[in-house]
Amino acid sequence: MRMSVIGCGYLGAVHAAAMASIGHDVVGIDVDEDRISTLSSGEAPFFEPQLSELLQAGLASGRLRFSARMQDAEGSAVHFIAVGTPQLPGGHAADLRFVDAAIDGLLPHLRAGDVVAGKSTVPVGTAERLAERLSPTRATLVWNPEFLREGWAVHDTLTPDRLVVGAPSGPDGDRAADTLRQVYAPAIDAGTPYLVTDLATAELVKGAANAFLATKISFINAMAEIAEAAGADVTLLADALGHDTRIGRRYLGAGIGFGGGCLPKDIRAFAARAEELGRGDAVGFLREVDMINLRRRDRAVQLVVDALGGLVFGRRIAVLGAAFKPFSDDIRDSPALDVAVRLRGLGADVVVTDPAAIDNAAALHPQLGYARERDDALRDADAVVVVTEWDEYRRDLSPVLAAGLVRRRIVIDGRNCLDAAAWRAAGWDYRGMGRR
């Protein structure tokens, strides 16, 4: 099937490459000509495992191309809207300027019977408003939210755990839903559930999913605060809770909290939209979820200060991680970088290392020190802080090797990802989040 993907940032580039890989003829369109040039050369403009290989294969096959001209979308049967919806400056609501601009640019190139499929995360009610703008073209708007995990985006696009399509009622909506069923036929044939809903429900699904995940993460971090006060171990607590099938162990890892370009801004936008609908009280708990999450960064810094006896100024601190999560170079709202910046603000000599995010971090925070090699960051450190659970730190870093590099054997495990017993056995003062 011939299709366009409007917006070739993180979501759009992955979606375009993945759709081409399953046999569709795809044109990705973006106003950023530098981004288009990079993608057209077969390189991803950001770090995402498997994406460059997928881009190169799609370009070589002739099924994938990129353009800065909206008119190149003309003739496609399906047009995916995959632009960003950042948080409004000075507020919590979603900024829909890019979504509106994408629709405005696409309108002259739509034909009767075309399907416009929104993938961007938007406040409930947005699709209904956009559908009215599309009505003169006789194209049909559906909403098809994405559920991608950074670092696993290619996998999640090709083998999703569910597909949701919100469509208007009536024959046009039915035809549009059937068209999307054809688009995703390989995943559906492999057993992926395909759920057809109304537009509003499809819009709510993404926000509700992120709100639930954020709540679960902040819940275990709240338990970490109590565990510290009571002398308990939050990792053992999470293990015990995880055996309850109603709860499950996933996303019950206590640490310095969540970040990135989606979860924080999406839960704020979700709450802001609830306020606009007069139902703010129903999601009032999300404000506390957000506060708990931010508070964990304070706690990580305090653990460093306590371990150094309150004397942080001039101490060399190795911060292992800059990206908000492993397998990504995304530093948006990164708890890891926030901890590093706060320690620098206390006068510490901070050296940050990360396998993928060094360049992004250095561009945003040039006041920090950086080391491309892990061991260079560790050398002569007075304290080590693990803030992103890359395998290079979580699994591959020997506490004995590290002990031979640092000045003082102090490690703060901001992700509770290290083997505490092994590090203590190697003579380290090990301190975790919510652990004895």
Do 81 and 119 meet the contact criterion of CB atoms below 8 Å apart? yes
If we measure between CA atoms, which residue out of 5, 272, 14 comes closest to residue 126? 272
Helices 199-230 and 234-242: angle between axes, nearest 10 degrees: 130
Ramachandran region of residue 144, left (φ > 0), alpha (ψ -120 to 50) or beta?
A: beta
Residues 262, 303, 343, 384: which is the catalytic one?
262
| C-beta separation of 205 from 164 below 8 A | yes
Q: Assess contact for 81 and 105: CB atoms under 8 A.
A: no
Using alpha carbons, select from 186, 191, 6 the residue that is nearest to residue 82: 6
What are the beta bridge partners of residue 80? 5, 117
C-alpha closest to that of 387 among 318, 311, 305, 312: 318
CA 42 from centroid of its chain's CA atoms:
23
Which tokens go with 247?
């709860």
Residue 8 designated active-site: no
Q: For residues 138 and 115, is the Cβ–Cβ distance under 8 A?
A: no
- Report which of 198, 207, 206, 205 is spatially closest to residue 272, judged by C-alpha positions: 207
CB 343 within 8 A of CB 319: yes
Which neighbouring-strand residues pair with 245?
none
- Reading the block at residue 309, the tokens are 């006896």
The rounded distance, in Å, linking the Cα atoms of 154 and 379 is: 36
Nearest one of 70, 54, 61, 72 to 15, comparing CA atoms: 54
Three-state SS for 127? helix
Q: Are 429 and 307 in contact (CB under 8 A)?
A: yes
First to last CA, the chain: 57
Q: Cβ of 332: how many Cβ atoms within 10 Å? A: 18
d(CA 211, CA 124): 14
Task: Tell me which residues are annotated as active site.
Answer: 262
